[in-house]
Amino acid sequence: MLQPSEPAKPGNPLTGASRLLTVLGIGLALLALLLPPNPPDCENPDAACSVYGPGERRARDYQLQKIGGQAMVLADRFHTWAMSWLQGRKLIMLLAILCFGSAAVCARLGRVADLQARE
């Protein structure tokens, strides 16, 4: 005679989310490896292939400082730096790292939730 089995316990949604984020992170990392590298940004005054000379950069900074002060110059430099990270392969790798970090946090919270459920 067969005994009825216990109903299946639903899985922890945090564990499933961590697995999903890990798979997504691996996929993004592979995509970043397969994509061609970004072409150099010659419009960026700090790039090696820049069409601007050092005097033009200083003149541009001086004009920005006249308009908005030193904060405007720093904001422009931050914008240039941030935009270099938010394009192409660097953006994909940044998203992959965020997925792996989120997966680690979800896995940890899932373990904590399982331990609390057992107590």
- What residues contact 94, with CB distance under 8 A and at least 6 apart? 85, 86
For residue 49, name the pLDDT band (cuts at 50, 70, 90). Answer: confident
Q: Which one, of 81, 80, 103, lies nearest residue 28 by Cα?
A: 103
E strand or H helix at 102: helix 88-118
For residue 8, name the pLDDT band (cuts at 50, 70, 90). Answer: low
Q: Average the pLDDT over 89-110 and give the result.
A: 92
Q: Are 22 and 103 in contact (CB under 8 A)?
A: yes
The answer to whether residue 97 scores a pLDDT higher than 70 is yes
Please tell me the pTM assigned to this model.
Answer: 0.69
As given in the structure block, the two tokens for residue 31 are 């995509």
The amino acid that residue 84 corresponds to is S
Q: What is the pLDDT of residues 22-41, one digit of tens each?
A: 999 999 999 988 988 877 77
Question: What radius of gyration do the chain's Cα atoms show?
Answer: 25
